[in-house]
A and B are shown apart, each in its own frame.
Chain A
Amino acid sequence: MTPQFLGRCLYDLDDYSPEEIVYILKAAKGMKQINMREYKKIPTLRGKTICTLFIEDSTRTRMSFELAANRLSADVVSFQASVSSLQKGESLQDTVYTLNAMGIDLYCLRHNSPGSPQMVHKYSQKPVINGGDGRHAHPTQALLDIYSIWERYDDLHGLKITIVGDILHSRVVRSNLIGMIKLGAKVTVCGPKTLVPGGMESVYGCKVEYDIGRALSGADVVMGLRMQFERMTEGLFPSLEEYSKHYALTKDTLKYAKPNALIMHPGPMNRGVEIVPEIADGEHSVIVEQVTNGVAIRMALMFLILGGKA
């Protein structure tokens, strides 16, 4: 049976079966071909209105969603606010009521509060694509990451994927773990103990390593995560220098991984901190390709959820 996506929300990948995830990947493949044409536009969502509701800044993700919508010929409106203004003034509830009154068909939400996409759906009764909610989930990023792996390996079953960095604060990791493991990959997360939350193994069925050598051993795919300076002042690690020394993706640490291991990073990168330039720009890196794939994945989701015609 063909999976049904019409009118569904995407809060996280929990709600999607492996078959549905693969279906999305296949749809994205078609979208990627459209994006490689000289005229990158199809009329499939003409007359639909998509709102990018960004309560937390993210120019790159917002552009990716908006390009995706534009290429499907949907009308796009953008609402941007800082959390502080939303705190002082209108509540999220009232914001959604207001936007909904203008006839939005689909919301793409970025917000730093976990669970906010569910709220937007509750108040709008419209499908919501989660574009990142706090540390909780970032399913479109996970799908584009999975797509990038799938494009290379065709199947995730049995692949060893290692994700290194600030696991505690990463929504990218959480969604990726759900999706990758659903598709049969064996995932290891790695970072200093202060940046790995409790219960990872039992929640996700992943492995946790605190030593990068052990973590990377035999990896087919290696993903670095952005290390943020704020974590220092929060008392979670002492310095970027010390962090790099133990957890950066370098020629030396990657010796443990398979020689042709795929190198990934969700961006934006801190070159020289979690990944050195020669690796980020090396022949096995798909970091730039990930961005390209992001547009295709978001097009596929909008197309499927809004019931576009092929």
Chain B
Amino acid sequence: MQTLIKNAMVYIDKETTKLDVLINGKKITKIEKNIDAPNATIIDAEGMHLFPGFIDLHAHLRDPGNTYKEDIVSGTKSAARGGFTAVCAMPNTDPITDNIASVEYIQLRAKEHGHAKVYVIGALTKQSKGEEISEMATMKSGGIVGVSDDGWCVQDARLMLSCLRYAANFDIPVIVHPEDYALAGKGQINSGRIATKLGLSGITPLAEEVIIARDIMLAESAGARLHIAHISTHGALELVRNAKTKGLPITCEVTPHHLVLNDEACLGFDTNTKMKPPLRSERDRLACVRALKSGLIDCIATDHAPHADFEKEREFDHAPFGIIGFETAFGILYENLVLTGEIPLSTLVDRLTKNAAKILELPGGEIKTGVAADLTLIDLNASTTHTKDNILSKSKNSPWLNKPIVSRVKYTFMNGKITYQDSEDD
């Protein structure tokens, strides 16, 4: 089966050029002007941009265990609507993804019913309890692309060192959600002016920075590859800068919300502004934007974290942390960073595609002949309605709920197959 995308602005090597792209079966077979393919299904892409499918290194699909929040099908449908063709599933499922059987379950479900490629992150420690090293080598042979205890950050430095050494032994990247629990305490939002004003306990930037400093030192000693999840403070960026200057194999990601919002968003007590790490100060946000632009931050990851309405409709300090992210990621960044001139479009696209892929050695991220046709076709001049009815995630916990999102994904293709197609009337 052939699909011909006509007259799209095709993104190749930081440039967009008006071209046709021919998909034959699972692959891109031709990229030229005026391709003639009489048997192909034609998609008129006049005025639209064709990007490599976005790749998300950090998502919570909640499957198995919490499928009332999300499952592999709904999660990947939501991803496809956001232009993503590949997502990494974090292991904080129920049961924890800390063994080969759990890894295979996710892979199988995704392969049979998924609307995006799903790569599995295995747990760093058994049941993510921070007590014993997981069987990560076995999981790696089953296809995991990294290990992490994510939200259950290992507090015991000795065990963390051991995990990093073991992971280095099998060349498995370790992803850390940096959070010192004692320093974070019962914090609800970033410490500082806004927490003071709202009377909410603060989460000091130090809670993040202390663990990053620790893990950079431990990873250096262990010779491990360390990827820092959702970095959010200017102090943390300083630590990463020093590590990179030293030539250590340290990478980091930032979420769209930490690039667009600061803690002033919490002023109305909207529980959809509550996540970890918390929205930080404007100074921190600006530092993240600068670091994204300079390349100090390697990629953008959503930390898509679905929670049901009844869980978020609680008193602020009783609501769970986290927001969904797939369906707004590109749009809010395009609107708030690209259209404002803070970063070029190419920076946004590269950080959502090939730079992300490189960190965990995933395929994809570029448009060229011979590769899998993982693509997203976006109308940058249109907008998207972000309402409970339109969101494809099972959960609707987004700070952008009922707000218009600039740009509109028209089609997403995974292995040449349409995984999302815009319906005109929403």
Contact = CB atoms under 8 A, between A and B. Distances in A.
Contacts of B318: 87, 113
Interface stretch (B116-124, B195-203, B379-387): B195-203
A114 B316 contact: yes
A192 B80 CA distance: 53
A198 B313 contact: no
A188 B318 CA distance: 33
A135 B317 CA distance: 12
A170 B191 CA distance: 16
Given A136-B198, A171-B199, A202 B193 contact: yes
B151 interface: no
Given A116-B315, A198-B191, A134 B199 contact: yes
Contact of B196 (A91, A111, A137, A197): A197
Given A115-B198, A115-B269, A174-B199, A134 B193 contact: no
Contacts, number: 59
Contact of A93 (B191, B193, B202, B313): B313
Interface residues of A, number: 24
Contact of A114 (B269, B310, B314): B269
Interface in B221-254: none
A133 B199 contact: yes
B315 to A, nearest CB: 3
Contacts of B200: 114, 134-136
A203 interface: yes
A114 B314 CA distance: 11
B197 A118 contact: no
B192 interface: yes
A92 interface: yes
Contacts of B193: 198-199, 202-203
B316 A115 contact: yes
Nearest to B268: A118
A57 B314 CA distance: 20
Nearest to A55: B315
A91 B197 contact: no
B270 to A, nearest CB: 9
B114 to A, nearest CB: 34
Given A92-B315, A115-B316, A199 B199 contact: no
Of the candidates B197, B198, B199, B310, the one having the most CB atoms from chain A within 10 angstroms of its own CB is: B199
Interface string B168-204: 0000000000000000000000011101111110100
Contacts of B192: 198-199
Contacts of A197: 195-196, 202
A133 B191 CA distance: 19
B317 A113 contact: yes
A134 B269 CA distance: 13
B244 to A, nearest CB: 30
Nearest to B204: A198
B184 to A, nearest CB: 14
B190 to A, nearest CB: 11
Contacts of B316: 113-116
Of the candidates A113, A115, A198, A203, the one having the most CB atoms from chain B within 10 angstroms of its own CB is: A115
A240 interface: no
A119 B315 contact: yes
A185 interface: no
A19 to B, nearest CB: 23
Contacts of A137: 199
B196 A198 contact: yes
A114 B198 contact: yes
A118 B269 contact: yes
A34 interface: no
Interface in A97-152: 111, 113-116, 118-119, 133-137
Contacts of A202: 193
Contacts of A91: 310, 313-314
A114 B192 CA distance: 16
Nearest to A92: B315
A114 B199 contact: yes
A174 B200 CA distance: 12
Given A198-B196, A199-B192, 11 more contacts: A91-B313, A91-B314, A93-B313, A93-B314, A114-B198, A115-B269, A119-B315, A135-B199, A197-B196, A199-B196, A200-B196
User: Which 6 A/B pairs are nearest by Cβ-Cβ distance?
Assistant: A115-B269, A136-B199, A135-B199, A113-B315, A199-B193, A197-B196
13 contacts: A87-B318, A91-B310, A113-B316, A113-B317, A114-B269, A114-B316, A115-B269, A118-B269, A134-B317, A136-B200, A137-B199, A197-B196, A198-B196
